[in-house]
Structures are given as C-alpha cells and as structure tokens.
C-alpha cells in the first residue's frame, strides 16, 4: 500500500462566512509528485473548512493508501484520534468515516505553521476565502 502524507488547513472570514481550504499531498518516495489542491465555499464555518480540506485530500487519492494526515485543527485530529464527541458537521464526519474504510489513516495534530507544507496550506486557504 502506497504511503501518502496529507497536510491540510481551512480558513473562514466570519463564522459563518466565506471560506477556503487547502490540502498538500506528498508521496515520500516521489517528491516530484507533490501537489496542492484548494477550494472555496461562499458561506461556511472554519470547522467545516478544516474537515473539507482533509476530505478533499483523501478523495484525491486514486487507490487505497496508508495515509498520515497532518492538521493544526484539534477539532479534526482529536475528534478522530481521541474520540471527541461529534456534535456538528455530521455530514462531513460521515464522509470521513467512509474514507476511513478505503484508506488506513493516522490523524496527527501539528502546531500552526510548524511545517512548510502547513504554511503553504494556510496561505492558500486564506487566499481562497476571498476568491
């Protein structure tokens, strides 16, 4: 099973308000294949953008993979890694659950802007807020 790292971030102006997300996909054995994907939503929340960034990163994978997802969102990582209670965004949590049946996923929280990939995702997500 191919190993993939996904770095993801979401941003929002107002809560709710316009939002953006970004995911950086990295294959450690093929750094030339790294890519950044991003998107926008007109009316959303920061937490939804964080979840959508992870979802879109996982959906971009063409086959089942061993995935390490890195995010500065405790909401995303700790809900999955520490079984925090799911109270909102249940549609997105259901999609993450579905993707976990396809991929073997580890969820890792990292401090904000602690890697070049997270810095790039943060900048792109913030840019997409205003597109």
Expressed as residue numbers, the domain containing 25 is 2-129
Provide the 3-class DSSP secondary structure of residue 83.
coil
Predicted pLDDT of residue 129: 93
The CATH number of the domain holding residue 125 is 3.30.420.10
pTM of the model: 0.94
Report pLDDT for 122: 94
- How many structural domains are present in the chain? 1
Q: What is the pLDDT of residue 67?
A: 98
pLDDT along the chain (131 residues), means of 10: 95 94 94 93 96 98 97 96 90 98 97 89 93 76
Cα 103 to Cα 66: distance, rounded to the nearest angstrom: 6
Q: What local confidence, expressed as pLDDT, does residue 131 receive?
A: 76
- Structure confidence at residue 82 (pLDDT): 84
């Amino acid at each position: 099973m191919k190993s993939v790292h996904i770095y993801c971030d979401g941003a929002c102006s107002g809560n709710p308000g316009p939002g953006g997300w970004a995911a950086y996909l990295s294959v450690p054995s093929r750094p030339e294949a790294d890519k950044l994907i991003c998107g926008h939503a007109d009316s959303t929340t920061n937490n939804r953008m964080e979840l959508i960034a992870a979802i879109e990163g996982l959906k971009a994978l063409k086959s089942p993979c061993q995935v390490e997802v890195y995010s500065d969102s405790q909401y995303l990582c700790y809900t999955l890694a520490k079984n925090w209670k799911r109270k909102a965004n249940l549609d997105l949590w259901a999609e993450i659950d579905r993707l976990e049946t396809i991929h073997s996923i580890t969820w890792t929280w990292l401090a904000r802007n602690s890697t070049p990939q997270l810095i790039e995702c943060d900048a792109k997500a913030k840019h997409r807020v205003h597109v």
